[in-house]
Structure 1
Amino acid sequence: MHFRYPAVLATSAAALLALTACGSASTTESGGDTPASAAAGKSWAPAKVDIWADLAMDSERSKGEYTPLDKAEKPWNICVSVPHMKDAYWLGLNYGVAEQARESGVNMTMVEAGGYENLDKQTQQIEDCAQSADALVIGAISYDGLNKTVDRLAAAGKPVIDVVNGMSSDKVTAKSLVSFNDLADITAKWLIEDSKGEAVKVAWFPGPSGAGWAEAGEEGFKAALKDSKVEVVDTKWGDTGKDAQSRLIEDVLAAHPDIDYIIGTAVTAEAAGPILRDRSLSDKIRVAGYYFTPGTYTGIQRGTVQAAPSDSTALQGRIAIDQAIRALEKKEFMKHVGPELVMVTKDTLGDFDVATTLAPDGWSPTFTVKAGS
C-alpha cells in the first residue's frame, strides 16, 4: 500500500479473483467490436482506486488499492436497485455485482425501475426488496429523492451502499462511486486540448435533470471550460435511453447546424454517430462521451467517437458488493472509494483494460444469483 489509510479501511488479505463470463445473447446496442474475451479470465484485484476520507465528495482524497474478501461468512441476501437496464453502462454494473456475488458466495437480487422518470417505482422496489435483504446496493435515480427510504433502511440496521450515481443522505453505509464532476472535468480538458485553443461551439448533453451524477457532470464540465474559448451553445438534459438522446441531438442540430462538438453521456456519443453520418457531418463534428460503454469503445475503434473516460463500472459494482459483505460481517471497509479514472482515445485504446468496465460479449442481464451457483 502506498497511501495513508482513512479512518475506515479494509485490512483483510484476499486472493485475486478471476472474472468469469456467463449468460447467453448480448443485450448491448452497440455492435460487435467489443472483444469476446473482454472480461473473461482476467483478475480484477488489486484495483487502483481513489479513497475519500469520508462520504463527502470534497473530502480529502488519497490513492490506494482495493482487494476484496475471499468469501463471505454466510450466504447473505443483497438487493441491488438500479434506474434501468436500457443501456450497456448498467449492463456493466450488472455484470460486476452478479459476478462478485457469485464469487463471494452470497445471494443477489437486482431490480430496475425502467428509467430516470420512475423515482416512485424505484422507491417501491427498494421497499419490497428490503423485506428479505440483509443489505442494499442502490444506484439512485435521484440525488435527494431516496433519503427517507435510506433513513428507514438504516434505522432497521440494513447496510446501504451508494453505487455509481450518488445520494445526499448521510445515512448511507458506504459509497462505491467516482466523481462525475471529475469525469466531466477531464472530458472538458480533452476538448480544450483537442480544439487546440481555438474558438469552438459545443452542444452539451449532461444526462437526466435531477440525477446526482448528471448535476455533478454539469458542474464539472462548465467549470473546466470557464476560461477557455469553448462556447457551449446548448445544454440538453434528458433520459439516457438512445431514443431520447437521439431526439435531443436532432433538436440541437436543427437549431445549431454550425456546432463543432457533441459532448455528453455515453449514450449521446453512441447515438450521434448514425445521425451525423446520415447528415454527412461526421467529418465536421467531433464527438466525446464523459463516461464509457461498449458503444463508446466501438465508436473509438471506428472513429465515430473521439474520446471517453472510463469510471470502471464493473469494478464499482464489485466493490459495492464487497463493501456490503464487510459491513454485514462487521469488518473494516473503505467508506468511500472509486476506481481511478482513465481517459480513452484511439491512441490509448490498446492499453485500456476493458475488463474493468464492460460486460463480456454474450452477457445477458442477470437479476438473480443464488449462493453456491
Structure 2
Amino acid sequence: MLINTFFLYAHSFVKRLTLCAFILGPVFTTIAVAEESSHKERICAIYPHLKDSYWLSVNYGMVTEAKKHNVSLRVLESGGYPNKARQEKQLATCVEWGADAIILGTVDPDAYQHNLDHWVGETPVFALVNQLNLDEKQAHLLKGTVGVDWYWMGFEAGKYLANKHPKGSGETNVALLLGPRTRGGTKPVAAGLYAALKGSDVHIVESYWADNDKELQRNLVQRVIDSGNAQYIVGSAVAIEAAISEVRHANKSNQLGLVSVYLSHGVYRGLLRKKVLFAATDKMVLQGRLVVTQAMHYLRSQPYDKKAVPKISPLTPNTLHTDTIEESLSPSAYRPTFSVNPVD
C-alpha cells in the first residue's frame, strides 16, 4: 500500500514537472539565447606603424566595420618596422586582453614563421597588408589574409615610367626612396619595379634606404636633389610627401618628377595639384573593412573569403575617381581611433 502510494505521488510530480517544462521551456531558451548573443566578440589589431596616412586609412575602414558589426576593437601600433620586440609584446597584450581574434600587420614577413603560437597561443590570426610567412606547425593559426602582392604595386609604378620612356626615347635616370631596405613591402615593390622597367630607357641610378619617418626621408630627398643625377624620384608615400615641398623649395619642380608606389592623403593632394605624377592604390579603407568582416565571419561560423585581394588602381592627376578614393583614404578630418566599444 505504501509503495503504491509512493509511485502515485511520484507519477503526479513528474507530470507536473513535465507541464512546467513545457510551459517555461521557451522562457529558458530565450534566456539562454540572450546570454549567448550578449557576448560581444573582441578583435585586437596591431599595425606596424601609424607614421603615414596609409595605416590611418586602414584604421578608418576597420573602425567603421567594427561599429557596423557591434564588436569590441582594440588597436595597437608598433612604432616602425625595426620594432619586432615591441610587436611581440603587443601580441601578448592582445591575448591578455582576451582577444577572440588578432589582426596583424607584421613588421617582418618572417618574424613569426616558427613561433607565432608562443605569442598568441591558439588565438586565430588574420594577416593584413603585409605578408605573413608561417611554417607547417604555425599555419593553422592563420585564418585569413587581406592584401595585395606589393610586387604589383611596384610593377604599376615601373610600367608608368616605362610607357613614358620606352627604349630609344633617351636615357632617363631615377632615384629610389622606397623605405626600409628589407621590411614592409619594400623588397617585392623593388622587384616589381625593376621587372616593369626592363626594355625601357629608365635606369635606377640611386637607391637610398631608411625607415618611413618623415625626417629620415626628407634627408634622403635632399641628397637626391643635391646630387642632380635623377629626373624622377620613385618612393614611398612618406618620401614623396617630403619631396613635394623639398623639390619646390629647390625650384626643381620642372626637372624632378615624383612617383609614389602607394597612396596617402599627402600624395593625393599632390596628384590634385599635379605635383605628383603617379601613385598606385590598393584601397586601404576597403582592406580595413574586409579584414574585420573576415574575422567576424570566422568567429560566427559564417562562410567568408579567406584570401581577399583588392584590385590595384593606378592613379594620375586625370584618373582620380571618387569611388576609388573613398575606398582608399579616410576622411580628411579623421584621427586614429584605438578602441571601439560595442553598444548594448
Q: CA separation in 1, counterparts of 2:194 and 2:157?
A: 11
Q: Is 2:91–2:119's contact at 8 Å kept on the other side of the alignment?
A: no
**2:185 is paired with a residue of what secondary structure?**
helix
Q: CA separation in 2, counterparts of 1:217 and 1:352?
A: 25
Q: CA separation in 1, counterparts of 2:194 and 2:103?
A: 30
**1:79 is paired with a residue of what secondary structure?**
strand
Q: Which structure: larger Rg?
A: 2
Q: Is 1:167–1:212's contact at 8 Å kept on the other side of the alignment?
A: no
Q: Is 1:143–1:210's contact at 8 Å kept on the other side of the alignment?
A: no
Q: Is 1:81–1:112's contact at 8 Å kept on the other side of the alignment?
A: yes
TM-score w.r.t. the length of structure 1 is 0.77
Match of 1:245 among 217, 232, 242: 217
Aligned match of 1:260: 231
Q: Is 1:163–1:175's contact at 8 Å kept on the other side of the alignment?
A: yes
Aligned match of 2:18: none
Aligned match of 2:29: none
Aligned match of 1:57: none
**1:220 is paired with a residue of what secondary structure?**
helix
As a proportion of its length, which structure holds more helix? 2
- Check 1:149–1:356 CA distance in 2 against 1; reply closer, same or farther (3 A cut): farther
Aligned match of 2:253: 282
Q: Is 1:150–1:160's contact at 8 Å kept on the other side of the alignment?
A: no
- Please list every run of 5 or more consecutive structure 1 residues that lacks an aligned counterpart in the other structure: 1-71
Q: CA RMSD in A?
A: 1.8
**What is the identity, as a one-letter code, of the residue corresponding to 1:185?**
F
Match of 1:303 among 244, 268, 274: 274
- Check 1:344–1:142 CA distance in 2 against 1; reply closer, same or farther (3 A cut): same
1:341-356 to 2 correspondence within 5 Å? 341-350=312-321, 353-356=324-327
Match of 1:204 among 161, 170, 176: 176
**What is the identity, as a one-letter code, of the residue corresponding to 2:327?**
T
Q: Is 1:127–1:149's contact at 8 Å kept on the other side of the alignment?
A: no
Aligned match of 2:78: 113
Q: CA separation in 2, counterparts of 1:153 and 1:323?
A: 21
Match of 2:164 among 185, 189, 194: 194
Q: Is 1:181–1:218's contact at 8 Å kept on the other side of the alignment?
A: yes
TM-score w.r.t. the length of structure 2 is 0.83
Match of 2:311 among 324, 340, 357: 340
- Check 1:180–1:73 CA distance in 2 against 1; reply closer, same or farther (3 A cut): farther
Match of 1:323 among 277, 294, 314: 294
Aligned match of 1:13: none
Write out per-residue CA displacement over residues 112-145 of structure 1, whole angstroms, 9 at most, x where no aligned residue.
1111221110111111112211100011111111
Q: Is 2:283–2:324's contact at 8 Å kept on the other side of the alignment?
A: no
Aligned match of 1:124: 89
Q: CA separation in 2, counterparts of 1:246 and 1:88?
A: 17
Q: CA separation in 1, counterparts of 2:94 and 2:212?
A: 25
Q: Is 2:205–2:229's contact at 8 Å kept on the other side of the alignment?
A: no
Write out per-residue CA displacement over residues 241-283 of structure 1, whole angstroms, 9 at most, x where no aligned residue.
21111111112233x3031110111111111111111111111
Q: CA separation in 1, counterparts of 2:176 and 2:126?
A: 30
Match of 1:101 among 46, 50, 66: 66
**What is the identity, as a one-letter code, of the residue corresponding to 1:343?**
P
Q: CA separation in 2, counterparts of 1:73 and 1:89?
A: 34
Q: CA separation in 2, counterparts of 1:206 and 1:278?
A: 22
**2:334 is paired with a residue of what secondary structure?**
coil
Write out per-residue CA displacement over residues 277-317 of structure 1, whole angstroms, 9 at most, x where no aligned residue.
11111111110101111111100011111110110001111
Q: CA separation in 1, counterparts of 2:320 and 2:297?
A: 34
Q: CA separation in 2, counterparts of 1:119 and 1:219?
A: 24
1:1-373 to 2 correspondence within 5 Å? 74-131=39-96, 132-152=98-118, 156-169=121-134, 171=139, 172-197=142-167, 198=169, 199-254=171-226, 256-350=227-321, 353-372=324-343
Q: How many residues align?
A: 300
Q: CA separation in 2, counterparts of 1:350 and 1:143?
A: 32
The percentage of aligned residue pairs carrying the same residue is 30
Q: CA separation in 2, counterparts of 1:153 and 1:324?
A: 19
Write out per-residue CA displacement over residues 27-76 of structure 1, whole angstroms, 9 at most, x where no aligned residue.
xxxxxxxxxxxxxxxxxxxxxxxxxxxxxxxxxxxxxxxxxxxxx99521
Q: Is 1:207–1:265's contact at 8 Å kept on the other side of the alignment?
A: yes
- Check 1:110–1:149 CA distance in 2 against 1; reply closer, same or farther (3 A cut): farther
